[in-house]
Amino acid sequence: MGNISALFWDIGGVVLSNGWDASARAEAVRRFSLDPVDFDERHRRAEDEFETGKLSLEAYLDRTVFFRDRPFAREQFKNFVFAQSRENKETRVVLDELTATHRYFLATLNNESEELNGYRIHQFDLTRNFAAFFTSCYLRVRKPKPLIYQLALGITQRGPEECIFIDDRPANLEPAKALGMTTILFRSAAELRASLAESGVRPAFVGG
Protein backbone atom coordinates (compact mmCIF):
# COMPACT_ATOMS: atom_id res chain seq x y z
CA MET A 1 0.00 0.00 0.00
CA GLY A 2 1.63 3.21 -1.14
CA ASN A 3 -1.36 5.56 -1.21
CA ILE A 4 -1.76 6.32 2.50
CA SER A 5 -2.09 10.07 3.08
CA ALA A 6 -3.73 10.32 6.51
CA LEU A 7 -3.22 8.66 9.88
CA PHE A 8 -5.82 8.87 12.65
CA TRP A 9 -4.62 8.10 16.17
CA ASP A 10 -6.24 7.06 19.39
CA ILE A 11 -4.58 8.92 22.27
CA GLY A 12 -5.20 7.03 25.53
CA GLY A 13 -3.22 3.79 25.55
CA VAL A 14 -1.29 4.77 22.40
CA VAL A 15 0.27 8.24 22.54
CA LEU A 16 -0.47 8.88 26.21
CA SER A 17 -1.72 6.82 29.12
CA ASN A 18 -5.47 6.53 29.45
CA GLY A 19 -6.92 9.71 30.89
CA TRP A 20 -9.56 8.55 33.36
CA ASP A 21 -9.85 4.80 33.04
CA ALA A 22 -10.80 2.07 35.51
CA SER A 23 -7.33 1.88 37.07
CA ALA A 24 -7.18 5.66 37.59
CA ARG A 25 -10.63 5.64 39.13
CA ALA A 26 -9.69 2.73 41.37
CA GLU A 27 -6.69 4.72 42.59
CA ALA A 28 -9.01 7.68 43.26
CA VAL A 29 -11.24 5.39 45.33
CA ARG A 30 -8.23 4.36 47.42
CA ARG A 31 -6.70 7.83 47.68
CA PHE A 32 -9.90 9.64 48.61
CA SER A 33 -11.69 6.81 50.46
CA LEU A 34 -14.68 6.76 48.11
CA ASP A 35 -17.34 4.06 48.12
CA PRO A 36 -16.18 1.95 45.14
CA VAL A 37 -19.60 0.59 44.17
CA ASP A 38 -21.33 3.95 44.43
CA PHE A 39 -18.57 5.81 42.57
CA ASP A 40 -18.44 3.24 39.78
CA GLU A 41 -22.20 3.37 39.29
CA ARG A 42 -22.25 7.17 39.29
CA HIS A 43 -19.38 7.24 36.79
CA ARG A 44 -21.11 4.70 34.55
CA ARG A 45 -24.27 6.82 34.44
CA ALA A 46 -22.36 10.02 33.64
CA GLU A 47 -19.67 8.65 31.31
CA ASP A 48 -21.39 9.02 27.94
CA GLU A 49 -22.46 12.62 28.56
CA PHE A 50 -19.05 13.42 30.03
CA GLU A 51 -17.13 12.11 27.02
CA THR A 52 -19.47 13.58 24.41
CA GLY A 53 -19.18 17.14 25.68
CA LYS A 54 -22.64 17.29 27.23
CA LEU A 55 -21.37 17.32 30.81
CA SER A 56 -18.55 19.55 32.06
CA LEU A 57 -15.88 18.32 34.44
CA GLU A 58 -17.46 20.37 37.22
CA ALA A 59 -20.87 18.82 36.58
CA TYR A 60 -19.32 15.34 36.37
CA LEU A 61 -17.67 15.86 39.75
CA ASP A 62 -20.95 17.14 41.19
CA ARG A 63 -22.63 13.90 40.13
CA THR A 64 -19.92 11.42 41.04
CA VAL A 65 -17.98 12.83 44.01
CA PHE A 66 -19.25 16.13 45.39
CA PHE A 67 -22.93 15.30 45.70
CA ARG A 68 -22.17 15.47 49.44
CA ASP A 69 -19.56 17.14 51.63
CA ARG A 70 -16.06 15.67 51.40
CA PRO A 71 -13.00 16.03 53.66
CA PHE A 72 -10.93 17.08 50.63
CA ALA A 73 -11.13 20.02 48.25
CA ARG A 74 -12.58 19.86 44.75
CA GLU A 75 -9.33 21.31 43.36
CA GLN A 76 -7.38 18.52 45.04
CA PHE A 77 -9.48 15.89 43.29
CA LYS A 78 -9.27 17.67 39.92
CA ASN A 79 -5.49 17.87 40.20
CA PHE A 80 -5.43 14.14 40.85
CA VAL A 81 -7.50 13.49 37.71
CA PHE A 82 -5.15 15.54 35.53
CA ALA A 83 -2.05 13.98 37.10
CA GLN A 84 -2.98 10.51 35.81
CA SER A 85 -1.85 11.40 32.27
CA ARG A 86 1.59 10.22 31.15
CA GLU A 87 3.35 10.30 27.78
CA ASN A 88 4.27 7.14 25.88
CA LYS A 89 7.72 8.35 24.90
CA GLU A 90 8.41 5.54 22.41
CA THR A 91 5.21 6.25 20.48
CA ARG A 92 5.99 9.96 20.55
CA VAL A 93 9.30 9.29 18.80
CA VAL A 94 7.43 7.56 15.97
CA LEU A 95 4.99 10.47 15.80
CA ASP A 96 7.78 13.04 15.66
CA GLU A 97 9.46 11.10 12.86
CA LEU A 98 6.21 10.95 10.88
CA THR A 99 5.63 14.66 11.44
CA ALA A 100 9.12 15.42 10.12
CA THR A 101 8.32 13.81 6.75
CA HIS A 102 5.56 16.38 6.01
CA ARG A 103 3.91 13.63 3.94
CA TYR A 104 0.95 12.70 6.09
CA PHE A 105 -2.11 14.34 7.58
CA LEU A 106 -2.01 13.39 11.27
CA ALA A 107 -5.09 13.71 13.48
CA THR A 108 -6.52 12.22 16.64
CA LEU A 109 -9.66 10.09 16.71
CA ASN A 110 -10.26 9.60 20.41
CA ASN A 111 -12.79 9.46 23.22
CA GLU A 112 -12.21 12.05 25.91
CA SER A 113 -13.99 14.63 28.03
CA GLU A 114 -13.47 18.26 26.99
CA GLU A 115 -11.45 19.61 29.92
CA LEU A 116 -9.22 16.56 30.14
CA ASN A 117 -8.70 16.53 26.38
CA GLY A 118 -7.71 20.19 26.41
CA TYR A 119 -5.34 19.63 29.31
CA ARG A 120 -3.65 16.72 27.54
CA ILE A 121 -3.33 18.62 24.25
CA HIS A 122 -1.55 21.52 25.95
CA GLN A 123 0.38 19.61 28.63
CA PHE A 124 1.92 17.26 26.06
CA ASP A 125 2.06 19.72 23.14
CA LEU A 126 -0.01 17.44 20.91
CA THR A 127 -0.41 20.23 18.33
CA ARG A 128 3.26 19.57 17.57
CA ASN A 129 2.10 16.44 15.75
CA PHE A 130 -1.62 16.66 15.09
CA ALA A 131 -3.35 19.03 12.69
CA ALA A 132 -6.86 18.19 13.94
CA PHE A 133 -8.54 16.64 16.96
CA PHE A 134 -11.55 14.45 16.17
CA THR A 135 -12.47 13.89 19.80
CA SER A 136 -15.78 12.59 21.12
CA CYS A 137 -16.30 15.73 23.22
CA TYR A 138 -16.27 17.88 20.06
CA LEU A 139 -18.08 15.54 17.68
CA ARG A 140 -20.69 14.54 20.32
CA VAL A 141 -20.28 10.84 19.55
CA ARG A 142 -17.94 8.16 20.91
CA LYS A 143 -16.06 5.29 19.38
CA PRO A 144 -17.03 2.66 18.41
CA LYS A 145 -20.14 4.34 16.94
CA PRO A 146 -19.62 4.37 13.13
CA LEU A 147 -20.62 8.05 12.94
CA ILE A 148 -17.41 9.31 14.53
CA TYR A 149 -15.29 7.63 11.84
CA GLN A 150 -17.61 8.86 9.10
CA LEU A 151 -17.35 12.41 10.43
CA ALA A 152 -13.55 12.27 10.48
CA LEU A 153 -13.49 11.09 6.87
CA GLY A 154 -16.10 13.60 5.75
CA ILE A 155 -14.52 16.60 7.44
CA THR A 156 -11.07 15.80 6.05
CA GLN A 157 -12.45 14.72 2.67
CA ARG A 158 -10.30 11.60 2.68
CA GLY A 159 -11.24 8.30 1.17
CA PRO A 160 -11.02 5.40 3.63
CA GLU A 161 -8.47 3.69 1.39
CA GLU A 162 -6.11 6.64 2.06
CA CYS A 163 -6.35 6.31 5.83
CA ILE A 164 -4.83 4.34 8.67
CA PHE A 165 -6.48 4.23 12.09
CA ILE A 166 -4.43 3.21 15.15
CA ASP A 167 -6.08 2.12 18.41
CA ASP A 168 -5.29 -0.20 21.31
CA ARG A 169 -8.82 -1.64 21.49
CA PRO A 170 -10.00 -4.13 18.86
CA ALA A 171 -13.65 -3.04 19.22
CA ASN A 172 -12.70 0.49 18.16
CA LEU A 173 -10.92 -0.79 15.06
CA GLU A 174 -13.85 -2.80 13.70
CA PRO A 175 -16.01 0.13 12.44
CA ALA A 176 -12.98 1.77 10.80
CA LYS A 177 -12.11 -1.47 9.04
CA ALA A 178 -15.73 -1.87 7.90
CA LEU A 179 -15.52 1.56 6.27
CA GLY A 180 -12.40 0.51 4.36
CA MET A 181 -9.70 2.12 6.50
CA THR A 182 -6.47 0.26 7.20
CA THR A 183 -6.37 -0.51 10.92
CA ILE A 184 -3.48 -1.16 13.30
CA LEU A 185 -3.95 -2.65 16.75
CA PHE A 186 -1.44 -0.88 18.97
CA ARG A 187 0.64 -3.07 21.26
CA SER A 188 4.01 -1.31 21.29
CA ALA A 189 5.86 1.41 19.42
CA ALA A 190 8.12 -1.19 17.81
CA GLU A 191 5.16 -3.19 16.47
CA LEU A 192 3.52 0.03 15.33
CA ARG A 193 6.61 1.00 13.35
CA ALA A 194 6.63 -2.41 11.65
CA SER A 195 2.90 -2.27 10.85
CA LEU A 196 3.26 1.21 9.38
CA ALA A 197 6.12 0.01 7.18
CA GLU A 198 3.92 -2.84 5.90
CA SER A 199 1.46 -0.16 4.73
CA GLY A 200 4.21 1.83 3.03
CA VAL A 201 4.46 4.45 5.79
CA ARG A 202 8.05 4.99 6.82
CA PRO A 203 8.92 7.68 9.36
CA ALA A 204 11.93 9.92 8.78
CA PHE A 205 14.44 9.42 11.56
CA VAL A 206 14.76 12.79 13.26
CA GLY A 207 18.38 13.88 13.48
CA GLY A 208 19.54 10.74 11.67
Is domain 22-83 annotated with CATH 1.10.150.240?
A: yes
| % of the chain residues with pLDDT over 90 | 96
pTM for this entry = 0.95
Q: How many whole angstroms separate alpha carbon 107 and alpha carbon 6?
A: 8
Q: What is the pLDDT of residues 84-114, one digit of tens each?
A: 999 999 999 999 999 999 999 999 999 999 9
Domain at 6-17+87-198: CATH code = 3.40.50.1000
- Indicate the burial class of 109 (C-beta count within 10 angstroms; 0-12, 13-18, 19 or more): buried
What is the domain partition of the chain in residue ranges?
A: 6-17+87-198, 22-83
Peptide bond into 144 cis (omega under 30): yes
pLDDT band with cut points at 50, 70 and 90 for residue 202: confident
Q: How many whole angstroms separate alpha carbon 106 and alpha carbon 98?
A: 9
Q: State the sign of the Cα–Cα–Cα–Cα dihedral 44, 79, 124, 158.
A: positive
What pLDDT does residue 2 have? 52
Sequence-distant (6+) residues with CB within 8 A of 149 are 109, 143, 165, 175, 176, 179, 181
Q: What is the pLDDT of residues 164-196, one digit of tens each?
A: 999 999 999 999 999 999 999 999 999 999 999
6-17+87-198 and 22-83 share one CATH topology? no
Q: How far apart are the first and last CA of the chain?
A: 25
Q: What is the pLDDT of residues 47-79, one digit of tens each?
A: 999 999 999 999 999 999 999 999 999 999 999
128 C-beta neighbours (distance < 10 Å), count: 10
pLDDT band with cut points at 50, 70 and 90 for residue 19: very high
